[in-house]
Amino acid sequence: MNVHAPNQTPAPTATTCPYCGVGCGVLATPDRLGGATVAGDPDHPSNFGRLCSKGSALGETLALEGRLLHPEVAGRRVAWEAALDAAAKGFRKALETHGPRSIAIYLSGQLLTEDYYAANKLFKGFLGSANVDTNSRLCMSSSVAGHKRAFGADTVPGTYRDLETADLLVLVGSNAAWCHPVLYQRMLAAKAGRGTKIVVIDPRRTATAEEADLHLPLAGGTDAALFAGLLAYLAAAGRIDEAYVAAHTNGFDAALGKAREAAPDAGATAEACGLAKADVAAFFDLFAKTERVVTLYSQGVNQSLAGVDKVNAILNCHLATGRIGREGMGPFSLTGQPNAMGGREVGGLANQLAAHMGFDAESVDRVRRFWSAPRMAKAEGLKAVDMFEAIGRGEIKALWVMGTNPAASLPRADEARAALAKLDCFVVSENMASTDTVTAGAHIRLPAAAWGEKDGTVTNSERRISRQRPFLAPPGQARPDWWAIAQVARRLGHGEAFAWRTVGEVFREHAALSAFENDGARDFDIGALADLDTRDYDRLQPVQWPAPRGGVRRETRFFAKGGFFTADGRARLVAVEPQPAPPAETAYPYRLNTGRIRDQWHTMTRTGKSPRLASHLPEPFLEISVGDAAREGLLDGGFARVTSAHGAATLRVRVAEGAPSGALFAPIHWTGETASDARVGALVHALYDPISGQPDAKATPAAVAPVAFAVQGFALSRSGFGPLQGDAWWAKAAVPNGAGLLFACDAAPDLETLLPALEPEDEIVSFADPSRGAFRAAVFRDGVLEACLFVGARRSESPWTYLRGKLGEPISEGRIRSLLLAGRASEGAAQGPLVCACHGVPKGEIETAISGGCADAAAVGAATKAGTNCGSCLPEIRRMLAGARAAELAPA
Ligand SMILES: Nc1nc2c(c(=O)[nH]1)N[C@H]1C(S)=C(S)[C@@H](COP(=O)(O)OP(=O)(O)OC[C@H]3O[C@@H](n4cnc5c(=O)[nH]c(N)nc54)[C@H](O)[C@@H]3O)O[C@H]1N2
Ligand SMILES: Nc1nc2c(c(=O)[nH]1)N[C@H]1C(S)=C(S)[C@@H](COP(=O)(O)OP(=O)(O)OC[C@H]3O[C@@H](n4cnc5c(=O)[nH]c(N)nc54)[C@H](O)[C@@H]3O)O[C@H]1N2
Ligand code: SF4
Ligand SMILES: [Mo]
């Protein structure tokens, strides 16, 4: 055990951020109170010391509140032995009675490679079932399939450095400013430093689009037509690299033929994509004349009925120009989760086997021999959507869910949740005691070690493997996921093959499999890491693959000189046939697009704990264009009921200037745990790309209508809340020293019911104006704010922003009176929402700096510190600067 003198700071642990696929290095220093302070690792090649708002707030997410700390079976706390016995029994029974098709495991790109490897090995090698799929099906599978079609393997050819040495960056369906913030800052640095041009292709005017030189707000789903048009243009402009095409590719003529049919020129392309011809022409010209181009893409491409075709339409343009695998150029799939790539490496998808091998007979035999596997799965298993439909039909009897929340994140999420209740044996490995998936009826609940406690590796978007190292002891009975898998494997009679004593042993086996009978035939080879001893593994520095035995290179790229992983070694250009957007449906005239916001991660089980992260956008909302809002009678700040053929949600309305007409956008983050009625996944149709099986989460037909509540407001409390009466709308928001609740309902909530922990000696200061439906109360205990309740006909943003940080603090009588009487924070305290989450700078402070003469973002940063850490708020600051400038120029 490490014992430190009280005034001696423990040495920081170098680990990796558990959120996005950028894979930033983090230095974590435990505070010996169960938490830790975090800083960016200056030596990590992903971030060189930077962190975004989410990474910077990791220390606020380590509290044990809500953690699942003990195994449970049928609602009762049990010892691990009993829980593992029960899981093994459930799977054995399904196998013996119904065979390997009746079992499944649903994994996650947030597991470590070692967890993932163990799960895949057990199911595919020892239980004979390829029903092993993952949330990466909803995330990266179209990119995987596109890569395999074009390259013969799931290879990301480039590196992050290319983003800094490119002259043109094209972002397609990627809101990198919010979703890959540190990488986006590296792109902006290239723009500032070498004048790199940035083009953003996204139907919405996102924070990413705001910083771009050119934004193409194409009609959703039409990317394949845009890139078909680009290919035709490149040919017409004489920009094809004839030598590269001749030496290293197949299918060029057919691909060009189809492209010319679909989108012969800029005009036809503009029409197919709903864009201005001049914008399309400008993009084509820029792409044609710039040699160093990187095209980055993410969910606007992948999560689509034509996701794989979109990917191949993009890859075609890079292959045809030979702009691949060389410094500053290439296609670049931005992976979402911290270990989306590691999951692909171990074969976490139902249509992959392991180590980038498929289900061809030779690979099946090779893996069987390597594992000495008694019961190999010989064919692909069910992909996520089909897997949950099979569960719903009662065909799958036993399911293990690990590190993902499918009852919230799958399309048609209400149906997925209901399907889970049909299982005979439903095991969930979780960090949290209550999630929409756990409460969907999990019989066996296994407490998993969380970030900070887990030990293993992850692979980021540029194929770089980094260590996640523990710096906290697992609390309660929490254990690593790979260990739970190995324990169940032993109970099913496979002790020898799962006898690992340390996580490093799992990694070595995985690395050895990647090199087994490889000899350059497969892209994924980390044979150089197969013999690391425990010390080397512990000290492993970030390393990019391929890393075959006998050498690790510092930087790696693929395909500059061909060498594709197809049978003939040539890349395939795919003749893509762009599909027109389906016509609008009368009952559901809008297209519901879903995605992410800057400061929350998925279903909020971790970021939802951070007060800092809750201050940017605290409520579930619906973004709608000005014209559509007017047509539907929706007011900014009001409420809307959104419905689809599958479900409904009630969301706060945000009328947005940059929103496309006919489309709605809602964030995916709120669940049954955090809001009354905002399970957006419930609305999403379960249609998927026919090749990848990846669902289209960006274009569900939907309808929208206004909802009126008599009153709305918020409550804060140091000791939690009682229920709201009636049909209330609510959302929880993390605040310092307690809990926050935003709500709307038909009658003002009763103080004593909502705040059941009030005590007789509490001092309550209140104000009521029944004629305006207003009631405001502040509760003080021992001179500090214990709770408060604000109710009115309209939103009370200003007191919320002020008071959310004041629980447990004294407040002067004068200020509380002015708050209660006027509903306004006095003395310049009404600062609006936090714009800069890293330094805690509210909107008001930035406005003051601008009106005080700060003319650009750098000056605002110097005056307020806003935007000087992760930079993800810079677009918002620039927008405020532009707004101020426009107001100055406007005639009086
Ligand atoms: N803050 C934050 N960051 C995250 C995550 C998070 O939860 N929060 N999650 C991580 C994960 S797992 C992922 S997968 C990534 C996702 O990262 P992104 O893909 O960047 O994020 P999304 O918001 O899902 O979608 C990106 C954009 O696609 C656009 N889009 C929709 N339809 C189309 C279309 O037809 N064509 C084009 N060109 N664009 C379209 C949307 O308007 C949206 O702005 O983010 C990762 N990073
Ligand atoms: N409508 C719509 N739906 C979407 C998307 C969209 O854009 N629109 N995006 C899709 C995409 S790209 C993704 S990646 C998914 C994400 O969706 P999910 O994977 O369902 O979301 P998370 O909240 O990340 O769920 C991770 C869960 O695992 C737990 N957990 C975290 N670490 C560990 C661990 O080490 N071990 C274990 N056992 N548990 C752990 C967390 O507490 C949490 O409950 O959503 C998909 N669904
Ligand atoms: S960009 Fe942010 S969320 Fe992504 S890895 Fe880095 S710190 Fe974590
Ligand atoms: Mo994702």
- Strand segments, DSSP code E, in 694-833 are 700-707, 711-717, 729-735, 738-745, 763-769, 774-781, 784-792
Could you say which of 282, 310, 333 is where a domain stops? 333
Would you state the pLDDT for residue 832? Answer: 73
User: Could you tell me whether strands 639-643 and 543-544 are parallel, antiparallel, or unpaired per DSSP bridges?
Assistant: unpaired
Find the ligand nearest to 40 CA.
3
Residue nearest to atom 2 of ligand 2 (CA): 697
Question: Domain for residue 230, yes or no?
Answer: yes
Smallest Cα–Cα separation from 267: which of 254, 256, 277, 279?
277
**How many A from CA of 697 to the centre of ligand 2?**
14
Instruction: Give yes or no: residues 676 and 756 share one domain.
Output: no
Domain boundary residue among 503, 518, 544?
503
Q: Please give the order of strands across the beta sheet that includes 729-735.
A: 729-735, 738-745, 711-717, 784-792, 774-781, 763-769
Measure the CA–CA gap between 288 and 196, rounded to whole angstroms. Answer: 15
- Output the pLDDT for position 588: 98
Alpha-carbon span 128 to 121, nearest angstrom: 10
Residues 435 and 474 in one domain: yes
d(CA 826, CA 628): 36
Structure tokens at 166: 């490119």
CA distance to 243, 310, 381, 399, 401, per residue, from 441 (Å): 60, 38, 24, 12, 12
Examine residue 532 and state whether it is found in any structural domain, yes or no: no
- The first and second tokens of residue 70, run together, are 């003990």
Do both 151 and 103 map to the same domain? no
| 174 CB near ligand 1 (under 6 Å) | yes
- The SS3 of residue 394 is coil
The answer to whether residues 270 and 325 belong to one domain is yes
- Contact between 424 and 391 under an 8 Å Cβ cutoff? The reply is no
Transcribe 41-53 into DSSP letters: -TT-TTTTT---H
* pLDDT score, position 828: 44
Domain annotation covers residue 661? yes
Do 753 and 774 lie in one domain? The reply is yes
Question: Is residue 298 within 6 Å of ligand 1 at its C-beta?
Answer: yes
Residue 93 in domain = yes
Cβ 337 vs Cβ 722: under 8 Å: no
Rounded to the nearest angstrom, the distance between the alpha carbon of 461 and the centre of ligand 4 is 12
597 occurs within a structural domain: yes
Nearest to 885 by CA among 844, 861, 843, 853: 853
| Closest ligand (CA of 138) | 2
* 756 three-class SS: coil
Taking a C-beta distance cutoff of 8 angstroms, is the pair 46, 859 a contact?
A: no
Tell me if 515 is assigned to some domain.
Answer: no
In a domain, 370, yes or no: yes
Q: Are 346 and 433 within one domain?
A: yes
Neighbours of ion ligand 4 (CB under 5 A): 139, 336
Q: What is the pLDDT of residues 635-690, one digit of tens each?
A: 999 999 999 999 999 999 999 988 999 999 999 999 999 999 999 999 999 999 99
* Per-residue three-class SS string for 535-553: HHHHHCCCEECCCCCCCCC
The structure's pTM equals: 0.95
Torsion (CA) 500, 504, 507, 511 in degrees, nearest 10: -110
* Substitution candidate for ligand 3 out of 15, 44, 50, 54 with most atoms within 8 A of CB: 54
Query: Which residues neighbour 885 within 8 Å (Cβ) at sequence distance 6 or greater?
Result: none
The last residue of a domain, from among 304, 333, 362? 333
Number of domains in the chain: 6
The secondary structure of 313-334, three-state, reads HHHHHHHHCCCCCCCCCEEEEC
Atom of ligand 2 nearest to the CA of 602: 23
CA distance 482 to 117: 8
**pLDDT reported for residue 288:** 98
CA distance 266 to 501: 61
pLDDT digits (tens, 9 = 90+) for 451-460: 999 999 999 9
Say which residues have a Cβ less than 8 Å from residue 256's Cβ, sequence separation at least 6.
Answer: 231, 232, 235, 320, 573
Residue nearest to atom 24 of ligand 1 (CA): 595
The atom of ligand 2 lying closest to the CA of 406 is 20
**Residue ranges with strand state E in 736-877:** 738-745, 763-769, 774-781, 784-792, 834-836, 841-842
Binding-site residues, ligand 2, Cβ < 6 A: 108-111, 135, 138-139, 299, 303, 336-337, 402-406, 408-409, 429-432, 435, 448, 450, 454, 481, 594-595, 602-603, 605, 668, 680-681, 684, 697
Segments of the chain scoring below 70 in pLDDT: 1-9, 552, 554-555, 823-831, 889-892
CA distance 61 to 269: 47
In a domain, 390, yes or no: yes
297 lines ligand 1 (CB under 6 A): no
Triad 739, 742, 745: Cα angle to 5°: 135
Statement to judge: residues 356 and 495 lie in one domain: yes
Nearest to 769 by CA among 752, 745, 791, 747: 791
Q: Kindly report the CATH number assigned to the domain that includes residue 351.
A: 3.40.50.740
For residues 275 and 374, membership in a common domain is answered with no
- Domain holding 853, by residue range, is 834-889
Please name the residue that has the structure tokens 């189809």: 258
Q: How far is the CA of 134 from the centre of ligand 2 (A)?
A: 10
Residue 705, strand partner residues: 641
334 pocket-lining for ligand 3 (C-beta < 6 Å)? no
Q: What is the CATH number of the domain that holds 862?
A: 1.10.10.1100
